Amino acid sequence: MDLNKKVIEEVSGWLKLFNDGSVDRTWTGPPEVEFLMKPVPTHEEYIDGIATRDVTIDPNTGLAVRIYIPDREKEIQDKDKLPVILHFHGGGFCISRANWYMYYQFYSRLAHSAGAICISPYLRLAPEHRLPAACDDAYSAYLWLNSVARGEQSEPWIESYADFGRIFLVGDSTGANIMHQVAARAGGAGSESIKLAGGVALHGGFNRAEPSKSLLELPESPMLTRDMVNKLNALGLPVGSTRDHPITCPMGPAAPPLAGLKLPPMMVVVAEEDLLRDTQLEYCKAMKEAGKEVKVVFEHGMGHCYYLNKLAIDLDPKTAAQVDYLIDLLKTLHLPERCISSITRKLPTERSNYKENANRKR
């Protein structure tokens, strides 16, 4: 035991940072929810209609992705190729992994229900690897997918079954911030091999230096507390940066003007009881004012990333029903707009009073 080793920062339940720079991410919160943070082994045989594998996409850095593929009843022809979800996990840039059960239980279900391939990179974590490391990893996963489409790299599942004309970027919490960065970089670079058909921000980790009304006043939830927001942002951002940094606040003055970005159509899902609700709506407002195509879905009575909390899903019928609606919504992303509208009628979009909250200068 090193008697000189001391904790210099702690995010309760999640993370301890020591004075030698090492980090302990052993879960120390309620034991009944520890299963959510447990890694799920890969299985190339189909379980509940899904098979998974991990693939190292960059042997030099060790960057790997987890791939989910749904069961097929027949050989897939070109016209039957599957859309691809490129998923970026959240965790405040500091915690969580692509193979955690909380993601497996939701994204395996989404991949099966939507008939889609899901690819989720193992993003580097701060504070060992501060931003923009996670964004660089996410963009590397996009470039790898592009290289597979061009035949420069090989991954049999992707080559055989992926429709490279239907790529959707999806991010949970701070993964939505990463999604925005990848979409902007991909749009600027362009590609003839793959097409970004859309982006989805699920309860995005959008934030700014001046706290919003929702961050100050809304009740905390099992998936997000004020302590987590403040400390994880501080540990994740480049040293000396504030939450007005372009990655945490892409709608702020320090970020590249949204009007100049080439972005795919976006869907932004906002939970009414999310501490970050108001800044998510600010992002939506700024995107619309910049002329971007944005669909806002407002989830009444729900908290931050509730759909990842399998314990709540199993115990609370309201949460389970809302997850059903969210799955129905997401699995229509590659369908015509009329099909999406039939689903979104079940999930009311932003209400005027929340627009006013987003517009109000605080």
| Catalytic status, residue 22 | no
Contact by Cβ (8 Å): 315, 245: no
Of the residues 136, 163, 172, 274, which is catalytic? 274
CA separation for the pair 12, 1 (Å, rounded): 22
Contact by Cβ (8 Å): 160, 78: no
DSSP letter for each residue of 230-286: HHHHHHHSPTT--TTSTTT-TTSTTSPPGGGS----EEEEEETT-TTHHHHHHHHHH
Contact by Cβ (8 Å): 189, 218: no
Strand-pairing partners, residue 7, are 18
| Catalytic status, residue 80 | no
Of the residues 173, 212, 221, 241, which is catalytic? 173
DSSP 44: S
Strand-pairing partners, residue 196, are 167
C-alpha pair distances (Å), 6 with each of 3, 12, 15, 269: 8, 16, 13, 40
Of 208, 9, 39, 41, nearest to 126 (Cα)?
9
| Catalytic status, residue 324 | no
Count of beta carbons in the 10 Å neighbourhood of residue 244: 16
Tell me the Ramachandran region of residue 75: left when phi exceeds 0, alpha when psi lies from -120 to 50, beta otherwise: beta
Residue with tokens 């079940």: 346
Residue with tokens 């058909």: 197
DSSP letter for each residue of 60-118: TTTEEEEEEEE--SSPPPGGGPEEEEEEE--STTTS--TTBHHHHHHHHHHHHHHT-EE
Q: Are strands 196-202 and 162-172 parallel, antiparallel or unpaired?
A: parallel
Q: Which residues are catalytic?
A: 173, 274, 304
